Each structure stands twice: as structure tokens, then as C-alpha cells.
């Protein structure tokens, strides 16, 4: 369900739920954020966490609570497959075409994040063109017996959350829930979010195990529409309203049969119901050719899936992996354009998929290869191959991989009465990367350097001459990624640098919101025995942008932002925190006309009752 990739500088080891191919056998590029690093980051949600990871780019269309999506190596945000405990969580039924909103996931729930870069359709199928972000939730045995947390800050921010966990000899249960809200940050923007989850782990004796979970989230937000010019330039001062309810649920059965065969059988469901009301976007008064009419929509999307994962080890040097799955996707949208033009659709798509991978390990050399096969009712069978290899020499590891990926057209792209095109074909990607990883004994230093070259074709784009979405452009993204970390006693330091040369071919359009340079540095150090300080700074280079009322402003300036978190143990089980975001009050814009809210401070308390140590 949720595989990893190669070991990277961020963690010593990983554990993956029902992984089709173990992380240390694939020779790709992989970054891990473990629980300790998530806590040190001070992030409240997955969007805040990924903002300070330079090897991906987080795009936030407005203030906190706004749509927050992630792109990898110049791939579109909907080219990133997002897994929550192995369950695909991309909604292909809305206007975004499958991009995941990371603002909907609380950091308190996350045990680990695996960022896998490069095409991975050979394992995961459609949507894993640019990469995969696998989010592993905390299981009953991972967290404390009880957790209560509250926080308040500027802009009317307030949050409260809690969780209970209990484990017996064969059963583990946990439940979590929380609520947060924030008022106006810049102008007429704010959000309210609530979530709840239940998890169960059951041991059936021997090597048999069942895991199950269900998670619900609601996010309601207001902001200026994307491309409207924002608070600074929007001609219409009407505000966009969004509300979405999302449910992710999955159950799997795992069993080890002898010493050479391990299998998993399971099923999962992803459901999202969203209501959107977007006002008209004016290019001028009276409206000109770039005017965008208002839209109102209510969309429902559901995906259910059944699958089985087989892992066979016929010899010590040979491992074989196979995944067979069937999924059914159903989507409906009821809405209008400009208040009277119909904009509704109803589509369904059954899909069968199979992937097979093998790994040969001989001494210091490991070679892996495999393919994915997928057949849906909207397109013929697609085969996605992948090969890779790694060679370990002392504390140095060399690796390289090549693969293909694809993405089936979204329901919106196929079915929209206004711009949809039922003749769209899948978008394809090909990626190669090669890297070296090195460990140094002094200060437990780890360094990783990776070169990558990705190519994309048949990209879906809007053609104004026919007023339809068409497959008409090709793109590329190539560059370098450097990751490093070190630890000296209780001081930890790390950083990342990403250089990206990206663009489109055979079209006058440009890639929006893709920085050439991104850098990040983080530090965690003790102040006293009971107090610690965590600091992180990210630098983001200039990006191309387009806002309807001000097309002359085609680029957004580079910016840097720093976050600091002071934490101290007030007494056993009780921790206080003070967070300061943008303490230097940097003035910047992520998109033209959408200014940052400036410096922001908050304080909170967290009480935990730890689990008793097993004698």
C-alpha cells in the first residue's frame, strides 16, 4: 500500500504499512520526516510541515486555511499522489483535477511522512507521475495514553485537540479529535477546521494482524479567488467561500506464511463532498476578453478499492513483489456558471491494475526492476516500467533509477460542460535520477546529492481558440537536490538546496509558481535542561505568476521566511510552547496581490500521559 524508497539523511530506519516494495530495495530519491522532526518543526498541519522542505514546493493560494498543494520537480500538483495510511486521497472530481489540500491534515496525527520523488506508476498506478507523498498516521501503540492540547494566538487563532489510546495484549484502540479556527489575516480571509479519527490494531495470534482506521475532516475557508489579483488588485471585492468534508478509511489483513511469503489483503474508501462559491474575476470594467464568470458547484467524489499485496523471497538474494487491485471511482458535480449556465456532470470509472517488481541483491550491489499495468474504461491498457540499481561501498552509496508514469484525465477535465473534453488522453512522464549518499563519523553527518531529469508530454492545458481543455504541450524539469544533516550532542542541524530548470515546450504558456532555487536550513538546540529552541528558515526564488486584472505583473519576487518555536517542560507530562512565525516581519507575496499577514505569534499547552514502559 505505502512503499518507501532509498534511505535518506533524515532517519535511521523506516517502517511502512503493507509496503509492496521495501524502501531500502528501490534506488530512487526519498526524504523522510519522522515523528521527532515533525514535533520539532512546530507545524500545526501538513502544509506548514512541507513548507520547510526545500526538495518540494508548497503553493498556498492565500492565507492560512487556503488551498495548499505540493509540486515535485516541476510536475503539476495533481501529478503528486498522496497516500494516507496507504489510501489514495486525491479527489479527481473537483476543479483542481486531483491536487490534495495539505491544510486538511493535522500534524498531531502524523507519525511519519515519506516523500518519494520521480515517476512511480510502476507501483502506484495513475497520478504518481511526479512522485508520491505517503503520510503514515500514528497507531494506538505509537502515541501516549492521553493527550490534551490547546493554543491561542493573533488573528483570533484558537485550537483544541485531544486523544486517547489503549492497548491490550491483542488489541489496540485510539481516538483523536480537534478543532481550530483563525479570523482575518489580511482581508476577508479565515478558516475553521475540525477532524476526528479512530484506529484499531488487532493481533490474531502468530503472524496474523488486522489494521483499520477511519478519519473525517471538515475545512471551511474564505479568501479572494485564485488569479483574482488578491486583496491588492482584485477589481471585485467579493470573496470565495469553500467547504469540504473528507473521509478516508481502510482495513487490511496481514499474514506471514512461513519464512518466504508475506501477504496483505485489504480495502479502502476515500470520499469528499465539497461546496464552492467563486465570484466573478474581472480583467477590467466593463469586462474584457479575460473576464472569468462566477461559478457555484457542489461536488461529490468517492473511490473504493480492494487489493492484495504479495511478497515472496524464493532465495536470500531474490525478492519478488506483486500488487493486484481494482478500484471504482464515481463523481458528480451540480453547479452553474454566471448564475445561469449549467455546469454539471456525472462520471464513473472502473480500473484494474497489476504491478510486479523484483530485487536481486548480490553483495554490495542491488538491482531492482518492474512494471505496472493499468486498464480503465476510458483508455486502453497503460504499461509503466521502472528499473534501478544501487552500490554500497563502506559509508558511501551510489544509486540510479529510471521510470515512467502517467495520469488519467480528471473527471472535471472530461466532464465539465464548459471546458471539458471527453477525448482527452492520459498525461505521461519519464524520469531519471542518479545520486550519491555519504555518512561521516564526525557529528553523525549525512549528505545526499541527486541529479534528476524529468520529461512530461500530452499535458492538459486550456486552448482559448476552441475554448476546451486539450493535450497540447510538453514540459521538462531537471536539476540538483542536496540534503544534509548533522548532530553534535543535543544540537541538530540540517538543510536542503534545490535547483530546478523547468519549462514548457511547443506553447507560449509558462510554468506558474515554479521557483528555480529553493533552500532551507533548520536547527534544534537546548537552551536549558528543560527548554529547547527550534528554528527553520526557507528561501524561495522568483516565480512566474498570472493574475487576471494585472497581467503586466508576471513574476513574484523571491522571499525568505523564518519560524521559531520555544518549548519547555513545565512539569512531568506538561509542555508549554511559544511559536513565532516570520519574526523579522518580512513583506512578501506567494502570488501577485496576495501579501503575507506579517509577524504572527501564538502560545499553547500540551498535556500527555505517557505509556507505561513494558517490563
List, for residues 56-71, the tens digit of each pLDDT value: 999 987 788 888 999 9
Q: Cell numbers 508514469 label which residue?
A: 405
For residue 531, the surrounding DSSP H or E stretch is strand 531-540
What CA–CA distances, in Å, run from 439 to 22, 56, 402, 452? Answer: 21, 23, 25, 21
Question: Residues 442-465: what's their mean pLDDT?
Answer: 90
- Spatial separation of the C-alpha atoms in residues 28 and 564, rounded to whole Å: 32
Asked whether the beta carbons of 217 and 246 are under 8 A apart, the reply is: yes
Question: Residues 61-85: what's their mean pLDDT?
Answer: 90
Q: Which three cell numbers stand for residue 25?
A: 530495495
- Spatial separation of the C-alpha atoms in residues 412 and 409, rounded to whole Å: 8
Q: Which three cell numbers stand for residue 114?
A: 515519506
Residue 13 pLDDT level (bands cut at 50, 70, 90) = very low
DSSP summary character for residue 102? G
- Spatial separation of the C-alpha atoms in residues 188 and 224, rounded to whole Å: 8
pLDDT score at 254: 94
Q: Which three cell numbers stand for residue 10?
A: 533524515
- Spatial separation of the C-alpha atoms in residues 598 and 142, rounded to whole Å: 36
- Spatial separation of the C-alpha atoms in residues 190 and 468, rounded to whole Å: 33
DSSP strand pairing (29-33 vs 80-84): unpaired
Residue 5 has pLDDT above 70, yes or no: no
pLDDT score at 21: 61
What CA–CA distances, in Å, run from 12 to 9, 15, 272, 439, 497? Answer: 8, 11, 36, 11, 21
Q: Lowest mean pLDDT: which of 3-7, 356-360, 531-535, 606-610?
A: 3-7
List, for residues 522-551, the tens digit of each pLDDT value: 999 999 989 999 999 999 999 999 999 999
Cα-to-chain-centroid distance, residue 521? 20
DSSP summary character for residue 19? -
- Spatial separation of the C-alpha atoms in residues 80 and 129, rounded to whole Å: 7
Is the link from the previous residue into 286 a cis peptide, with omega within 30 of 0? yes
pLDDT score at 513: 92
Higher-confidence position of 10 and 259: 259
Residue 242 has pLDDT above 80, yes or no: yes
Radius of gyration of the chain (CA): 24
For residue 413, the surrounding DSSP H or E stretch is helix 411-415
Listed in sequence order, the DSSP H helices in 160-241 are 230-233
Listed in sequence order, the DSSP H helices in 197-315 are 230-233
Higher-confidence position of 484 and 24: 484
User: Which of 518, 486, 449, 384 lies closest to 29, judged by CA?
Assistant: 449
Residue 9 has pLDDT above 80, yes or no: no
* Vertex 48 angle, CA 115 and 565, to 5°: 115
pLDDT score at 4: 32
pLDDT score at 75: 93
Residue 150 has pLDDT above 90, yes or no: yes
In the 3-class helix/strand/coil scheme, how is 309-373 assigned residue by residue? EEEEEEECCEEEEEEEEEEEEEEEEEEEECCCEECCEEEEEEEEEEEEEEEEEECCEEEEEEEEE
Question: Residues 173-193: what's their mean pLDDT?
Answer: 95
- Spatial separation of the C-alpha atoms in residues 13 and 430, rounded to whole Å: 29
Residue 417 pLDDT level (bands cut at 50, 70, 90) = confident
DSSP strand pairing (131-137 vs 80-84): parallel
Question: Residues 77-96: what's their mean pLDDT?
Answer: 89
Asked whether the beta carbons of 561 and 586 are under 8 A apart, the reply is: yes
Residue 22 pLDDT level (bands cut at 50, 70, 90) = low
pLDDT score at 62: 77
* Vertex 85 angle, CA 80 and 87, to 5°: 60
**Strand ranges in 107-186 using DSSP code E only, listed in sequence order:** 110-117, 131-137, 146-153, 157-167, 171-182
DSSP summary character for residue 285? S
Task: Work out the burial of residue 241: count CB atoms within 10 Å of its CB; fewer than 13 is exposed, 13-18 middle, 19 or more buried.
Answer: middle
Asked whether the beta carbons of 233 and 267 are under 8 A apart, the reply is: no
Question: Residues 572-589: what's their mean pLDDT?
Answer: 91
Give 558's strand partners: none
* Beta-carbon count within 10 A of 36 CB: 13
User: Which of 134, 100, 99 lies closest to 28, judged by CA?
Assistant: 134
pLDDT score at 466: 77
Give the chain's mean pLDDT: 90
List, for residues 296-348, the tens digit of each pLDDT value: 999 999 999 999 999 999 999 999 999 999 999 999 999 998 888 888 899 99
Count helices and strands in the chain by DSSP H and E runs: 5, 34
Give 114's strand partners: 32, 134
Residue 23 pLDDT level (bands cut at 50, 70, 90) = low
pLDDT score at 16: 37
- Spatial separation of the C-alpha atoms in residues 521 and 493, rounded to whole Å: 8
- The number of CA neighbours under 13 Å toward the Cβ of 29 is 29
Residues contacting residue 176 through CB under 8 Å, at least 6 positions apart: 108, 109, 138, 147, 161, 162, 163, 195, 196, 197
* Vertex 78 angle, CA 182 and 544, to 5°: 75
- Spatial separation of the C-alpha atoms in residues 487 and 248, rounded to whole Å: 37
Whole-model pTM?
Answer: 0.93
Residue 1 pLDDT level (bands cut at 50, 70, 90) = very low
Question: Residues 272-292: what's their mean pLDDT?
Answer: 94
User: Which of 471, 352, 476 lies closest to 74, judged by CA?
Assistant: 476
Asked whether the beta carbons of 126 and 97 are under 8 A apart, the reply is: no
- Spatial separation of the C-alpha atoms in residues 407 and 424, rounded to whole Å: 11
Which domains, from first to last, does the chain contain?
A: 23-609 (2.40.170.20)
pLDDT score at 159: 96
Asked whether the beta carbons of 525 and 487 are under 8 A apart, the reply is: no
Amino acid at each position: 500500500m505505502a512503499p518507501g524508497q532509498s534511505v535518506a539523511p533524515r532517519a535511521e530506519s523506516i517502517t511502512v504499512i503493507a509496503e509492496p516494495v521495501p524502501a531500502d530495495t528501490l534506488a530512487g530519491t526519498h526524504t523522510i520526516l519522522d515523528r521527532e522532526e515533525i514535533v520539532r518543526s512546530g507545524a500545526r498541519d501538513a502544509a506548514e510541515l512541507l513548507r520547510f522542505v526545500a526538495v518540494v514546493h508548497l503553493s498556498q493560494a492565500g492565507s492560512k486555511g487556503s488551498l495548499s498543494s505540493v509540486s515535485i520537480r516541476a510536475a503539476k500538483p495533481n501529478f503528486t499522489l498522496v497516500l494516507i495510511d496507504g489510501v489514495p486521497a486525491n479527489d479527481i472530481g473537483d476543479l483542481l483535477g486531483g491536487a490534495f489540500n495539505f491544510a486538511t491534515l493535522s500534524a498531531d496525527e502524523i507519525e511519519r511522512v515519506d516523500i518519494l520523488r520521480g515517476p512511480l506508476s510502476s507501483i502506484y498506478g495513475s497520478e504518481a507521475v511526479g512522485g508520491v507523498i505517503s503520510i503514515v498516521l500514528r497507531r494506538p501503540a505509537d502515541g501516549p495514553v492521553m493527550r490534551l492540547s490547546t493554543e491561542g494566538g493573533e488573528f483570533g487563532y484558537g485550537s483544541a485537540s485531544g486523544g486517547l489510546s489503549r492497548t491490550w495484549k491483542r488489541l489496540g484502540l485510539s481516538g483523536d479529535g480537534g478543532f481550530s479556527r483563525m479570523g482575518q489575516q489580511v482581508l476577508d480571509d479565515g478558516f475553521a477546521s475540525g477532524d476526528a479519527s479512530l484506529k484499531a490494531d488487532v493481533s490474531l495470534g502468530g503472524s496474523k494482524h488486522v489494521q483499520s482506521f477511519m478519519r473525517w475532516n471538515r475545512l471551511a475557508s474564505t479568501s479572494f479567488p485564485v488569479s483574482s489579483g488578491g486583496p491588492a488588485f482584485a477589481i471585485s471585492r467579493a470573496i470565495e467561500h469553500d467547504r469540504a468534508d473528507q473521509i478516508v478509511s481502510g482495513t487490511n489483513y496481514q499474514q506471514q506464511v512461513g519464512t518466504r511469503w508475506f501477504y496483505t489483503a485489504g480495502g479502502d474508501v476515500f470520499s469528499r463532498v465539497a461546496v464552492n462559491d467563486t465570484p466573478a474575476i474581472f480583467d477590467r470594467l466593463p469586462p474584457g476578453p479575460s473576464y472569468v464568470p462566477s461559478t457555484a458547484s457542489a461536488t461529490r467524489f468517492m473511490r473504493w478499492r480492494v487489493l492484495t499485496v504479495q511478497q515472496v523471497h524464493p532465495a536470500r538474494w531474490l525478492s519478488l513483489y506483486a500488487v493486484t487491485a481494482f478500484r471504482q471511482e464515481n463523481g458528480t458535480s451540480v453547479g452553474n456558471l454566471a448564475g445561469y449556465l449549467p455546469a454539471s456532470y456525472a462520471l464513473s470509472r472502473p480500473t484494474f491494475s497489476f504491478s510486479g517488481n523484483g530485487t536481486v541483491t548480490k553483495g554490495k550491489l542491488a538491482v531492482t526492476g518492474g512494471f505496472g499495468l493499468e486498464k480503465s474504461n476510458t483508455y486502453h491498457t497503460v504499461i509503466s516500467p521502472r528499473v534501478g540499481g544501487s552500490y554500497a561501498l563502506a559509508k558511501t552509496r551510489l544509486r540510479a533509477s529510471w521510470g515512467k508514469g502517467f495520469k488519467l484525465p480528471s473527471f472535471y477535465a472530461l466532464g465539465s460542460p464548459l471546458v471539458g473534453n471527453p477525448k482527452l488522453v492520459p498525461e505521461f512522464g519519464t524520469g531519471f535520477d542518479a545520486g550519491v549518499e555519504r555518512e561521516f563519523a564526525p557529528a553523525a553527518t549525512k549528505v545526499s546529492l541527486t541529479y534528476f531529469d524529468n520529461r512530461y508530454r500530452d499535458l492538459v492545458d486550456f486552448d482559448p481558440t476552441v475554448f476546451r481543455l486539450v493535450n497540447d504541450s510538453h514540459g521538462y524539469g531537471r536539476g540538483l537536490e542536496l540534503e544534509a544533516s548533522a548532530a553534535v550532542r543535543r544540537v541538530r542541524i540540517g538543510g536542503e538546496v534545490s535547483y530546478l530548470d523547468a519549462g514548457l515546450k511547443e506553447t507560449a504558456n509558462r510554468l506558474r509558481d515554479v521557483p528555480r532555487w529553493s533552500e532551507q536550513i533548520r536547527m534544534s538546540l537546548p537552551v536549558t535542561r528543560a527548554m529547547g529552541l527550534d528554528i527553520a528558515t526557507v528561501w524561495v526564488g522568483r516565480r512566474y505568476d498570472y493574475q487576471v486584472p494585472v497581467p503586466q505583473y508576471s513574476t513574484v519576487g523571491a522571499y525568505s521566511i523564518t519560524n521559531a518555536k520555544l518549548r519547555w517542560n513545565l512539569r512531568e507530562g506538561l509542555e508549554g510552547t511559544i511559536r513565532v512565525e516570520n519574526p523579522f516581519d518580512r513583506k512578501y507575496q506567494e502570488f501577485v496581490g496576495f501579501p503575507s499577514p506579517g509577524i504572527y505569534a501564538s502560545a499553547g499547552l500540551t498535556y500527555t500521559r505517557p505509556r507505561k514502559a513494558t517490563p
